[in-house]
Chains A and B, each alone.
Chain A
Amino acid sequence: MAELQIRTMADYMASGETPEILFWVGCAGSFDDRAKKITKAIVKILNHAHVKFAVLGTEESCTGDPAKRAGNEFLFQMQAMTNITVLNGYEVKKIVTGCPHCFNTLKNEYPSLGGSYEVIHHTQLLQDLLNSGRIKIEGGNFKGKKITFHDPCYLGRGNDVYEAPRSVMINLDAELAEMKRSRQNGLCCGAGGAQMFKEAEKGNKEVNVERSEEALALNPDVIAVGCPFCMTMMTDGVKHFNKESSVKVMDVAELIAQAKDL
């Protein structure tokens, strides 16, 4: 395996170069053990496609999304303004995120605070790379496998991005099975709105169990996700039904990286 080529914005600046795009890794992508694998899959694809990208590294900080959804607008705006200072300092124009929450916040909630960038989700970047021929997929080890995609709320309903992840996965020659509740009608994994960081309120079921049950009813080989929080919730849900040996939960980027044997 080739070594990952990762440069920070500071590295680029020092050498007087400008990257094509900033990869906003996000907190989960930086610290969560499972999500770090998604981050690496994205980097492998970027390296393979020779995309000149940068990360902020230790200059990156939480976008403020969980604070905002939890009602702490002060903390959100403090985070936003700090990040905007860094981003504008590097004259960032285009950002790709590994997480729909970072994607939504940077794209929609930063502009009125002085941070306007072209922001895309990593499944949209993958779609661009495939469409422009910078990566190609033929066959691969998902041929004939059954994959179902769980729409992240902040990618789907939040920003009307439904086709990018699906059009990427079509290249895998796999059978894409849709859950009854998909696209606009997709059911949340249970992590949004800062639920990830607290116990659920009293009820008769966990949301991730409800959603995993629906996905598992299709007997898929893979449940595909596009969000590190959905990843956690769906993985736990699959474990709840003791299906972790037969059903994998994978990010769309991991599917592509694995199909390309990266």
Chain B
Amino acid sequence: MISIIIFILLFGGGFAFFLYNVSKIRRNILLGKDANRKDRPAERWKIMTLVALGQKKMFNRPIPAILHLFLYVAFVITQIELIEIVLDGALGNHRMFRPSLGGFYTFMVSFIEILSVLAFIGTVAFLSRRNLLRVPRLVQSELNGWPKLDANFILLGEITLICFIFMMNGADEVLYQRGMSHAQNMNDGTLGLSISSHLGPLLFGGLSDHSLHIIERIGWWGHICMVLGFLNYLPYSKHFHILLAFPNTYYSNLEEKGKFRNLQSVTNEVKAMMDPTFTPPVADPNVHVRFGAKEVTDLSWKQLLDSYTCTECGRCTSACPANITGKVLSPRLIMMKTRDRLEEVGKNMDANKGEFKDDGKALLHSYITPEELWACTSCNACVQECPVNIDPLSIIMDLRRYLVMEESAAPTELNMMFSNVENNGAPWQFSQSDRLNWKNE
């Protein structure tokens, strides 16, 4: 009875705290400006199915894709077993689905065990890619400190979780074979689990019934504690992508990648200048129109969602021509800095009763420098690479717009190019009246 109460408190509390943190993230994301990403639902469902559920873009790099697939499928399928674990915990049962599901139960749990072994292999491989093989994109200096620790925490947590599963199932299997398990005895002599029916006797065969019961309980409680711990770790971690990958791909940009947004605020100004019949819409005096983005709150909610979805895999950065040739720009870092600043703004609001209090900082300059922004060739390689359809380029462009239109801080050569375009209709100093001269040359 006590264990039921502890379980319900633990589970309820763990879930509630997770939802509390998720609601904060949601609030932060909605600090972003409006963006229409709700049109064409059929296309959006398709993209989400292919890219998030089907992992389509991951397979551009097959080795990490297969390893990642092990973890991903194991994670998704294990949720089925979690239903039983939660119900067992809340009702004080033990393997309550086994009698009614029979052979299907054995099949499902066995399947999950096989997936868990594959996930174990995947996790060990990922740990070695990060710490032994030192894959370049996973050891770049921008990951020093918390990001590196975060990645290793998650992987070690996954290994621990898998160990608990096999402690639980392995010990229970030995007990069942001795007729001592709390699972209902169905006179079949074994739980018949694909891995544990071999691994259990091998590891725990020599232990007493009492020790086995303890190991089984450690496995069971350890598993559920890890699940809840993991769930609550997510909102603080890059690992949040396991949830946000789905909405983030659903709200993907459906336009051609080369098409950049035309700023409506600028259109109003330019039309007012060029078209005498045009009446600009009445501006709300309380809203200060800013051309481009200086702060996270100048970005759209989708750009902010992008920042929370990023799992810092670094495919973008490894494909970035600027980064490859040693410039300071890293699209991954653009996403990390956007998220860091957004978190800071959120905490600032929490501390000031929901109102943001000026802290003298902004995304531009305090986090992202002009040197990073001006190194971008707008080639879309980062956008193409991202397995969850994050768009670092759009943030770079919005910050550039602020630099140019609000701060007039373009590099000198670009200012010369601007004045050439303005005066001669070409980025070089040639007269527009000479534009057809090539014909006679």
Q: Which residues of A contact B (CB under 8 A)?
A: 4, 6, 8, 25, 27, 29-32, 36, 39-40, 55, 57-58, 60-62, 64, 66-75, 77-79, 81-82, 104, 107-109, 112-113, 153-154, 157-160, 184-188, 190-207, 209-211
- Does the CB pair A201–B258 fall under 8 Å? no
Q: Which residues of B contact A (CB under 8 A)?
A: 60, 255-260, 262-263, 266-267, 269-271, 273-274, 291-292, 319, 321-322, 324-329, 371, 374-381, 383-384, 397, 400-405, 410-411, 413-414, 416-418, 421-422, 425-428, 430, 432-439, 441
- Does the CB pair B436–A8 fall under 8 Å? yes
Q: Given known contacts A30-B438, A104-B258, is B381 in contact with A188 (CB within 8 Å)?
A: yes
- Does the CB pair B266–A70 fall under 8 Å? no
Least CB distance, B422 to chain A, in whole angstroms: 6
- Does the CB pair B403–A71 fall under 8 Å? yes
Would you list 6 pairs from A and B whose C-beta atoms are within 8 A, ordered by A residue?
A31-B428, A32-B428, A70-B404, A78-B273, A78-B422, A184-B384
Q: Given known contacts A71-B405, A157-B379, A188-B321, is B258 in contact with A113 (CB within 8 Å)?
A: no
Least CB distance, B407 to chain A, in whole angstroms: 10
Distance, CA A79 to CA B427, complexed state (A): 12
- Does the CB pair B258–A159 fall under 8 Å? yes
- Does the CB pair A64–B421 fall under 8 Å? yes
- Does the CB pair B377–A192 fall under 8 Å? yes
Closest 5 CB pairs of A and B: A158-B258, A193-B378, A61-B425, A204-B326, A71-B400
- Does the CB pair A153–B427 fall under 8 Å? no
In the complex, which of the residues A4, A58, A71 contacts B292, with contact meaning CB atoms closer than 8 Å? A71
User: For residue A72, which residues in chain B have a CB less than 8 angstroms away from its CB?
Assistant: 401, 404-405, 410, 418
- Does the CB pair B426–A157 fall under 8 Å? no
Closest residue of chain B to A154 (Cβ to Cβ) is B258
- Does the CB pair A81–B380 fall under 8 Å? no
Least CB distance, B279 to chain A, in whole angstroms: 16
User: For residue B379, which residues in chain A have a CB less than 8 angstroms away from its CB?
Assistant: 153, 157, 187-188, 192-193
Closest residue of chain A to B409 (Cβ to Cβ) is A71
User: For residue A66, which residues in chain B have a CB less than 8 angstroms away from its CB?
Assistant: 417, 421, 427
- Does the CB pair B377–A191 fall under 8 Å? yes
In the complex, which of the residues A57, A186, A190 contacts B436, with contact meaning CB atoms closer than 8 Å? A57
- Does the CB pair A104–B266 fall under 8 Å? no
- Does the CB pair A198–B374 fall under 8 Å? yes
Closest residue of chain B to A27 (Cβ to Cβ) is B426
- Does the CB pair B266–A6 fall under 8 Å? no
Least CB distance, A122 to chain B, in whole angstroms: 15
- Does the CB pair B426–A108 fall under 8 Å? no
User: For residue A68, which residues in chain B have a CB less than 8 angstroms away from its CB?
Assistant: 260
Q: Given known contacts A57-B435, A190-B377, is B325 in contact with A204 (CB within 8 Å)?
A: yes
Least CB distance, B401 to chain A, in whole angstroms: 4
Distance, CA A109 to CA B257, complexed state (A): 12
- Does the CB pair B401–A71 fall under 8 Å? yes
Distance, CA A77 to CA B266, complexed state (A): 8
